[in-house]
Structure 1
């Protein structure tokens, strides 16, 4: 059983990047076991605290990574041992390396058609031997979900990357798993945009300084201001309250 800790009621597996890749490979892909591979940041923990359905989905996942510097810092403050941030876009790239090395097939679902096509073009250089089972952009109607689910079941990719916003991607992945898919499903948010080159990632020094969120807000203020500034304040209040209750 994979070790887990709890923060604000949310399950987190204290795994490093390398440990996560090894567990995904050895315990799920090689054993043909389905997996919802989850990453939580401050925003996702806020969602869990405000939505019992999301809390249940996250806590039922077999692997939940800390995908946010704020989660690691809050863990240290609360005495919860979380070794490092496992950023979703970085983990996706590590899993792509694994897939190419071991000839695991992958499927991509999400983003605009031009984004996914550009990403796949880049992958011909970055991962020339990658086995792509299929792909589908993220613009579809609810009545097409069953067809997409059936396509994934038929093609049986070892890994499915879902580049759709939360909470839709979590609900979709749960639907695919309920339909009987045995793949490893990973929700990767806007990672397709980054890997296509359409959106640039923060410089390495900002990533290492836990400032990647600030770079993202500067690039997309209308979309991300509330999520990061208002959401982070909400998260900090929850952490402070938890600390106070723990000390009483």
Structure 2
């Protein structure tokens, strides 16, 4: 983790207290200097999972930049007397970095999702910007014994930026294990962002994003797959925050 950047500890997880613009500036400087940065975003669900999954926790805290993806984390920090300046959503950061790649001449490797989805993402960005920003792409459906070859394929592409759209904790553990092989200046897990960019999944309206209801919009779109996950993780997150608030008020650390 970058120790020279302001950070807080929220539910036993370090999170950098920086804005979107500050994050992009740090990443741009790192790419220009060819110094690798491993980036991750955390939300309520990931913080809950980290408590019971040591491999996921280790993979997250070993990252160089940790941004708060969920608005709920910004609110939780405020309740606990800490400050996160704003939410830095993974998909918004990805979009900013694609634009940055176009203007700065950086190349991007897209890894994850199904082949039709990642192909649609590449086609969209190549059309919106230029095909020159594409270093390569492949789907995220590979076996454990294929991981080393995938890492070598990314390294051979000479990409400056790597976006990985796979589920947690698979993407975090894969990147933590192979980032030195991949040797890309900027590495970032982007979750389900490829589904949104490709048009497979619609993103919540801006007012729902700002109100912390983006998770609810996702549940409405995929109720069978998402309702239980968000019900459990959101409930556990709220309980942990309230417990932390109580301990602070009565003087426990």
**In structure 2, what is the Cα distance between the partners aligned to 1:108 and 1:45?**
25
* Comparing 178-187 and 142-151, the one that deviates more: 178-187
1:60 to 62, 66, 76: 62
SS of alignment partner, residue 54 of structure 1:
helix
2:5 to 2, 16, 27: 2
| Aligned residue-pair number | 247
* CA spacing shift, 1:130–1:90, aligned 2, 3 Å: farther
Report the equivalent of 1:25.
28
Report the equivalent of 1:48.
50
Runs of 4 or more above 4 Å deviation: none
Gaps of 5+ in 2: none
Q: Assess if the C-alpha contact under 8 Å between 2:126 and 2:133 holds in 1.
A: no
Gaps of 5+ in 1: none
* Comparing 14-23 and 174-183, the one that deviates more: 174-183
1:14 to 8, 17, 20: 17
Q: Assess if the C-alpha contact under 8 Å between 1:156 and 1:183 holds in 2.
A: no
Cα offset, 1:182, TM superposition? 3.5
Cα offset, 1:130, TM superposition? 4.6
Are 1:165 and 2:178 matched, yes or no? Answer: no
Cα offset, 1:146, TM superposition? 1.1
SS of alignment partner, residue 38 of structure 2:
strand
**In structure 2, what is the Cα distance between the partners aligned to 1:139 and 1:55?**
23
Q: Assess if the C-alpha contact under 8 Å between 2:154 and 2:182 holds in 1.
A: no
Are 1:139 and 2:141 matched, yes or no? Answer: yes
SS of alignment partner, residue 188 of structure 2:
strand
Q: Assess if the C-alpha contact under 8 Å between 2:151 and 2:182 holds in 1.
A: no
Report the equivalent of 2:96.
94
Cα offset, 1:180, TM superposition? 5.6
SS of alignment partner, residue 30 of structure 1:
helix
Cα offset, 1:208, TM superposition? 2.3
Q: Assess if the C-alpha contact under 8 Å between 2:39 and 2:189 holds in 1.
A: yes
Cα offset, 1:114, TM superposition? 0.7
TM-score, scaled relative to structure 2 = 0.94
Q: Assess if the C-alpha contact under 8 Å between 2:152 and 2:182 holds in 1.
A: no
SS of alignment partner, residue 33 of structure 2:
coil
Cα offset, 1:153, TM superposition? 1.6
SS of alignment partner, residue 225 of structure 2:
helix
Cα offset, 1:186, TM superposition? 0.5
**In structure 1, what is the Cα distance between the partners aligned to 2:92 and 2:49?**
23
TM-score, scaled relative to structure 1 = 0.95
Q: Assess if the C-alpha contact under 8 Å between 2:109 and 2:159 holds in 1.
A: yes
SS of alignment partner, residue 40 of structure 2:
strand
Q: Mapping of 1:72-151 within 5 angstroms?
A: 72-128=74-130, 130-151=132-153
SS of alignment partner, residue 186 of structure 1:
strand
